[in-house]
């Protein structure tokens, strides 16, 4: 595309985004904006559906955008932001082999696209050559002035003596310069400038030859390289490294075998909860075990990074590595069982869901390490496949309305699992229908909780929880009724319908 249409599209898209988001909450406007962008890409034939990775990231981008309307959570919005960054990177280089390369290209493009816009507009006949150069020069001057003014404020606040020296400058700015712009609509201006930067990022895409060249050279297959050491010490020889690796993995396998036997016996089949908090059992234990699994993966990758893969007598080390990977998979399952016990006795929470997702990725990571050792794969293969697995898990996870799932599950299991009312009261507005329990029900739940969990009373009382939810309901009603269709989202609409429309129709 030549410069004139691109500049026009940038300005049109900036205007569209500003009209969609100015004085609006996130909601349907986000999906409309992303659909417009996707439609423009399709019409201008910038999407190559023949490229598998572009097809996956395009679907991920659009589906996570749809999920922001359907589930409307911070997680789904963050997932959509991640999907957008990856998708833009793939648009820059559709033939990319790895999402990591796409992420690097996208990150660099966030800055380089702004400079390209300034350069293009200064040379464009679209606004006139003279006007373009003036805008370009002003932008170069304006940015340093903003930075200078920013540091001036910081130093003035932090140092009273410096503040007294610069007082006259500050008064001059306040009395003269500021008055020139006092009638400007700064909210509209900042909204427009933000979406101008975003539009540049999406449309004025730039390439990095270095990252693309690195991606083109990368391969899944490991190749044997002959390297001469700068010192001739036997400890650095291949055989010595092989013996050291065999000894290390043999010892580590024995230690881990003992730990796994204890876990299988105690955690898998003979665990009994005796009313304790399970803090050490789950929190400290889980974090340390996860750390040990990550170190275990790093050890295998270290020893199978180069020519040890091609050593003809490395079967023993390979078998020890397979056992080591399998034992770490068992350890991962043990961590999962610990987490399930925690959920069984202390209900659902975001961290416990996060642990499950992390363990799924860990098991896949162990599988990819096994394939690397067996089929002589490169480290690039590990990064490429695990990046894709991470991307897919995050995108799929954004489908679910986790707040509502947590609220419904925890109240449904309140007769046998600990119900943390403080945590429940912090869930988002879309879960209010599930949190809006009659006070008699809350008192009954509290009575059952006191028998099951005679902990020190440091949590919300049922009456206080009930009052908080009632106040939140009224606040939510006011906020929802102030929104227009651009800020519409399904879960809050459904919450409003259940809380207010259904009850009013019944009356």
Distance of alpha carbon 128 from alpha carbon 122, whole angstroms: 8
Backbone angles phi, psi at 97, to 5 degrees: -95, -20
Structure-model confidence comparison of residues 337 and 283, the more confident one: 337
Beta bridge partners of 377: 221
Q: d(Cα 182, Cα 197) in Å, to the nearest integer?
A: 24
Q: Give burial (CB, 10 Å; 0-12/13-18/19+) of 110.
A: middle
Does one domain contain both 270 and 201?
no
Kindly indicate the confidence band of residue 85, based on its pLDDT and cuts at 50, 70 and 90: very high
CB 36 within 8 A of CB 73: no
| Cβ contacts of 394 within 8 Å, gap of 6 or more | 79, 82
Q: Kindly report the pTM of this predicted structure.
A: 0.85
Q: Tell me: do 289 and 163 sit in the same domain.
A: no
Residue ranges of E strands in 415-470 = none
Percent of the chain clearing pLDDT 90 (strictly above): 50
**How many other C-beta atoms are found inside a 10 Å radius of the C-beta of residue 167?**
11
- Looking at the structure, do residues 267 and 335 belong to the same domain, yes or no? yes
Residue 384 near residue 220 (C-beta atoms within 8 A): yes
**Count of structural domains, the chain:** 3
Pair 58, 197 in one domain: yes
Same domain, 409 and 320: no
Domain of 427 in residue numbering reads as 402-506
Looking at the fold, whether 115 and 12 belong to one and the same domain comes out as yes
| CB contact set of 400 (below 8 Å; sequence gap of 6+) | 71
Cβ atoms 281, 334 nearer than 8 A: no
What integer pLDDT is reported at residue 235 of this predicted model? Answer: 38
Report how far Cα 55 is from the mean position of its chain's Cα atoms.
Answer: 21
Lowest mean pLDDT among 25-29, 389-393, 492-496, 501-505: 501-505
Neighbours of 125 (CB within 10 A): 9
What's the chain's average pLDDT?
Answer: 85
- Give tens-digit pLDDT for 279-294: 666 666 667 777 888 8
222 occurs within a structural domain? no
Q: How does pLDDT run across 242-254, given as a tens digit for each residue?
A: 788 888 889 989 9
Same domain, 115 and 176: yes
In a shared domain, residues 128 and 211: yes
Does residue 230 surpass a pLDDT of 60?
no
pLDDT for the residue 227: 55
Q: Are 338 and 273 in contact (CB under 8 A)?
A: no
C-alpha–C-alpha distance, residues 504 and 320, integer Å: 68
**Residue 213 banded pLDDT, cuts 50, 70, 90:** very high
Q: Are residues 349 and 252 in the same domain?
A: yes
Distance CA 227, CA 487 (A): 61
73 dihedral zone (left: phi>0; alpha: psi -120 to 50; beta): beta
Both 122 and 65 in a single domain? yes
Predicted pLDDT at 506? 57
Quick one: 197 and 241 in the same domain? no
Distances (CA, A) of 162 to 147, 148, 150, 178, 339: 18, 15, 14, 22, 55
More confident site: 300 or 93: 93
């Amino acid at each position: 595309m030549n410069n004139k249409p691109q500049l026009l599209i940038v300005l049109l898209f900036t205007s569209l985004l500003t009209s969609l988001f100015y004085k609006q909450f996130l909601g349907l406007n986000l999906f409309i904006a992303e659909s417009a962008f996707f439609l423009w890409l399709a019409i201008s034939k910038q999407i190559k559906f023949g490229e598998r990775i572009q097809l996956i990231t395009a679907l991920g981008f659009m589906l996570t955008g749809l999920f922001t309307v359907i589930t409307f959570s911070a997680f789904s919005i963050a997932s959509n932001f991640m999907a957008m960054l990856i998708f833009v990177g793939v648009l820059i280089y559709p033939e990319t082999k790895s999402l990591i390369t796409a992420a690097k290209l996208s990150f660099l493009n966030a800055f380089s696209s702004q400079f390209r816009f300034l350069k293009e507009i200064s040379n464009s006949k679209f606004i006139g050559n003279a006007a373009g150069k003036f805008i370009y020069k002003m932008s170069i001057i304006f940015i340093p002035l903003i930075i200078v003014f920013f540091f001036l404020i910081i130093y003035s606040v932090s140092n009273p003596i410096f503040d007294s020296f610069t007082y006259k400058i500050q008064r001059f700015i306040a009395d003269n310069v500021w008055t020139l712009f006092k009638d400007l609509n700064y909210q509209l201006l900042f909204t427009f400038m933000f979406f101008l930067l975003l539009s540049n990022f999406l449309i004025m895409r730039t390439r990095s030859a270095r990252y693309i060249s690195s991606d083109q050279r990368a391969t899944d297959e490991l190749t044997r390289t002959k390297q001469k050491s700068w010192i001739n010490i036997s400890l650095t020889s291949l055989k010595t490294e092989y013996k050291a690796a065999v000894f290390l993995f043999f010892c580590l396998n024995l230690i881990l075998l003992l730990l796994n036997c204890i876990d299988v016996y105690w955690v898998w089949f003979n665990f009994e909860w005796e009313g304790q908090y399970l803090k050490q059992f789950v929190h400290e234990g889980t974090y340390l075990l996860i750390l040990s699994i990550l170190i275990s993966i790093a050890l295998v990758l270290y020893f199978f990074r180069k020519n040890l893969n091609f050593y003809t007598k490395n079967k023993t080390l390979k078998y020890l590595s397979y056992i080591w990977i399998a034992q770490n998979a068992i350890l991962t399952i043990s961590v999962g069982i610990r987490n399930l016990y925690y959920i069984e006795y202390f209900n659902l929470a975001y961290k416990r869901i996060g642990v499950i997702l992390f363990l799924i990725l860990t098991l896949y990571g162990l599988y990819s390490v096994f394939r690397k050792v067996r089929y002589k794969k490169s480290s690039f293969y590990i990064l490429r496949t695990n990046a894709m697995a991470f991307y897919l898990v995050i995108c799929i996870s954004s489908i679910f309305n986790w707040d509502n799932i947590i609220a419904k599950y925890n109240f449904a299991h309140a007769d046998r699992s600990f119900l943390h009312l403080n945590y429940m009261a912090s869930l988002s507005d879309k879960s209010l229908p599930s949190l809006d329990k009659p006070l008699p029900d809350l008192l009954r739940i509290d009575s059952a909780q006191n028998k099951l969990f005679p902990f020190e009373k440091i949590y919300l009382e049922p009456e206080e929880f009930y009052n908080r939810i009632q106040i939140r309901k009224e606040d939510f009603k006011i906020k929802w009724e102030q929104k227009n269709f651009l800020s519409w989202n399904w879960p809050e609409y459904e919450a409003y319908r259940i809380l207010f429309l259904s009850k009013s129709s019944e009356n």
